[in-house]
């Protein structure tokens, strides 16, 4: 079988492979899977084994490698970063006895699945505005938002740039509330030499193709709290407490040795604990081959991190030569594992012209995600968007371009060789990008 797999992989050259050639005139995508043939090989090997397609041994192996890499004791892989947040908030609520209506402080700028799971778990999001100089939330506003019902603060650095974690940690400690981390954009970012995950009771991340690690889809919840992850796993596996996975399912008495003991007090007989449901859960399991891919990606993470940082610096240098635009820098204590390069424009017209020009020249751009989420119909009932004036400016003035390891020096060189905007008549835009 190994020879078959090697033969198939050797003849495969999908365009998303990292070593695929790029030529001027082809699209410059802002991100994508940073794969080579190793990911294809382990995917096929896992699938062709035919032993177990849902989460099994490969997922368990990836969970352990992920925990070691990012200094957490326990990790749970699920089918998406959105699911990771959904499970994380539901598990936190169960673990610490939070009640419906208890409050979580969050920025109103970012991606919907930072906020939606708070509401879906029966909790209440309480919003803070951003500081427009660095596009991160205004840390000075956090303490004013704390009430008797505040249970946590969810940190979600958009585009991976850490804010002042010393201030946030101090606020959380003094007010006895939890710091929660949505690291879907910021996996690998550090503050004072420590991963952002080190500072949080629980942390989530995403393995979508645009993110630092790609398994196709997928996400992870991590924590040092064993009981929290046990609850999260139960919720992600239909609400049952059984933890036998993959080959362990074939053991006659389970891994615990108590598979057929009495588990339900009100039931007089013996019932297989694999089918005892202690919570109303979901089915959010990943596939086993995704775990195999994740293990390969973990081994590349340091390379991915350094390429993202180098690309961010090079791309930023180009754009800051353009009149009317600037980017942001990280704080001295921070080491951002950049998701993208934020571009702040001096006017709506500048943003419109620049993004149109880039897109016309096949360079992908993205809005600063949803901007002020409270402006969107699905979230407008949560608060009044105009209470957050800096957040209101994001959609008009901010966008981002890519800095992923899939962006190579020839692509960046194309930006550098563009004519100066000053040389382009009736426009501030370069003539090519």
Catalytic site includes residue 211: yes
Residue closest to 111 by CA, chosen among 85, 75, 144, 146: 85
Residue 230 CB-density burial (10 A; 0-12 exposed, 13-18 middle, 19+ buried): middle
Mind giving me the DSSP string for 73-98?
SEEEEES-HHHHHHHHHHHHHHHHT-
d(CA 41, CA 390): 47
Residues constituting the chain? 433
Q: Which of 120, 114, 66 is nearest to 90 (CA)?
A: 120
Distance of CA 133 to the CA centre of its chain: 23
Q: Report d(CA 134, CA 342) in Å as an integer.
A: 9
CA 265 – CA 262 distance, rounded (Å): 7
Q: Are residues 177 and 170 in contact, defined by beta-carbon separation less than 8 angstroms?
A: no
Task: Please measure the distance between the N-terminal and C-terminal CA atoms of the chain and give it in whole angstroms.
Answer: 46
Helix (H, G, I), strand (E, B) or coil at 54: strand
Give 3-state DSSP helix, strand, coil % of the chain, rounded to 5: 40, 15, 45
Catalogue the long-range contacts made by 369-373 (C-beta closer than 8 Å, 24 or more residues apart). 369/109, 369/110, 369/111, 369/158, 370/109, 370/110, 370/111, 370/112, 371/109, 371/395, 371/398, 372/108, 372/109, 373/108, 373/109, 373/110, 373/112, 373/115
What residues contact 13, with CB distance under 8 A and at least 6 apart? 20
Helical H runs in 33-80?
37-49, 57-69
Q: What is the DSSP string of 245-266?
A: -GGGGGSTTTTTS-TTS---TT
Per the CB < 8 A criterion, the answer to whether 225 and 74 are in contact is: yes
Q: Which of 220, 179, 208 has its CA nearest to residue 67?
A: 220
- Please tell me which residue in 199, 211, 305, 318 is annotated as part of the active site: 211
Residues annotated as catalytic (active site), given as ranges: 211
């Amino acid at each position: 079988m190994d020879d078959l797999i090697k033969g198939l992989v050797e003849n495969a050259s999908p365009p998303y492979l990292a070593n695929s050639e790029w030529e001027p005139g082809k699209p410059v995508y802002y991100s994508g899977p940073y794969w080579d043939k190793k990911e294809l090989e382990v995917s096929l090997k896992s699938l062709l084994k035919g032993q177990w397609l849902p989460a099994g041994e490969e997922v368990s192996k990836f969970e352990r490698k992920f925990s070691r890499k990012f200094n957490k004791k326990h990790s749970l892989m699920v089918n998406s970063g959105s699911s990771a947040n959904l499970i994380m908030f539901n598990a936190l609520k169960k673990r610490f006895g939070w009640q419906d209506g208890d409050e979580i402080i969050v920025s109103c700028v970012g991606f919907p699945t930072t906020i939606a799971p708070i509401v879906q778990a029966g909790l209440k999001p309480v919003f803070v505005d951003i500081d427009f100089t660095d596009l991160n939330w205004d840390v000075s506003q956090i303490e004013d938002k704390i009430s008797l019902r505040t249970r946590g603060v969810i940190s979600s650095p958009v585009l991976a740039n850490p804010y002042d974690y010393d201030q946030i940690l101090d606020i959380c400690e003094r007010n006895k509330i939890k710091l929660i981390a949505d690291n879907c954009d910021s996996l690998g970012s550090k503050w004072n030499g420590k991963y952002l995950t080190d500072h949080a009771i629980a942390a989530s991340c995403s393995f979508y193709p645009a993110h630092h690690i790609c398994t196709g889809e997928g996400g992870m919840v991590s924590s040092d709290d064993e009981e929290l992850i046990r609850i999260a796993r139960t919720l992600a596996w239909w609400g049952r407490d059984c933890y036998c996975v993959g080959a362990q399912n074939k053991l006659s008495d389970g891994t615990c040795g108590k598979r057929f003991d009495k588990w339900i007090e009100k039931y007089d007989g013996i019932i297989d604990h694999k089918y005892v449901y202690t919570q109303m859960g979901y089915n959010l399991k990943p596939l086993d081959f995704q775990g195999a891919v994740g293990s390969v990606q973990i081994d590349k993470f340091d390379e991915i991190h350094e390429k993202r940082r180098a690309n961010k610096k090079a791309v930023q240098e180009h754009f800051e030569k353009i009149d009317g635009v600037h980017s942001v820098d990280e704080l001295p204590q921070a080491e951002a594992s950049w998701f993208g390069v934020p571009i702040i424009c001096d006017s709506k017209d500048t943003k419109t012209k620049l993004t149109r020009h880039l897109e016309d020249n096949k360079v992908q751009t993205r809005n600063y995600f949803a901007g002020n989420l409270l402006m969107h119909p699905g979230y407008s009932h949560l608060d009044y968007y105009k209470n957050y004036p800096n957040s209101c400016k994001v959609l008009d003035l901010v966008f981002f371009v890519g800095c992923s390891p899939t962006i190579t020096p020839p692509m960046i060189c194309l930006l550098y060789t563009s004519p100066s905007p000053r040389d382009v008549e009736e426009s501030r835009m370069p003539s090519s990008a």
